[in-house]
Structure 1
């Protein structure tokens, strides 16, 4: 077996606020808090089928530098309904030069980190 992703790290100004946002988006829970970082992940914790996300405090993340990119897929609703839910949670549309013909939506979380909402649904874990 090859390596697989166990966790993703995202630099941010407010780890607690982003933890709340991403926990709602992904139905994750806070797994750990340590030295300015919050680790979130599935209820079964680290090492399961999904990676955890470590939201790491950085007082001034460098502009123009990608701190992380996440793709999410709806599990229990279609893409339009999930887009509406994400926008209500605080996501906003982001322009990265897309043509408008893509099958995904490019969004930004409350701190401007870009992520994509894919069309295809995946089974919940």
Structure 2
């Protein structure tokens, strides 16, 4: 399930038992996040998901993770960091 409007995106399984709601915040990010999100695609490869996320406005971020890691560190358009993990998650 994916519900979207101009100021929010809600994602979760079709039964909506547990969802994540992301709300747009127009305030500038001032400090490190207290919550870290790891993303793992269910229906495509890590490379395909990386391409999709970058096309939606994510950017690559170097936080000292090195080049030999299996994940990609990204930031959303507001600068909030998250990681794209390798492999696929069970849907």
TM, length-normalised to structure 1: 0.58
What secondary structure does 1:71 align onto?
Answer: strand
Please report the RMSD computed on the Cα atoms of aligned residues, expressed in angstroms. 2.3
Unaligned runs of 5+ in 2: none
Q: Judging by fraction of residues, say which structure has more helix.
A: 1
How far residue 99 of structure 1 moved from its aligned partner, in angstroms, is 1.0
In the alignment, which residue of structure 1 is the partner of 2:15? 44
In the alignment, which residue of structure 2 is the partner of 1:115? 82
Q: Deviations over 1:13-66 (max 9, x none)?
A: xxxxxxxxxxxxxx5214xxxxxx846233433xx2x43224264x53551231
In the alignment, which residue of structure 1 is the partner of 2:35? 68
In the alignment, which residue of structure 1 is the partner of 2:56? 89
Say yes or no: does 1:29 pair with 2:22: no
Contact preservation (8 Å) 1:67, 1:113:
no
How far residue 68 of structure 1 moved from its aligned partner, in angstroms, is 3.0
TM, length-normalised to structure 2: 0.77
Mapped to 1, the partners of 2:24 and 2:46 lie a distance apart of 29
How far residue 80 of structure 1 moved from its aligned partner, in angstroms, is 0.9
Structure with higher Rg: it is 1
Give the 3 Å change call, closer, same or farther, for CA 39–92 of structure 1 in structure 2.
Answer: closer
Aligned length: 88
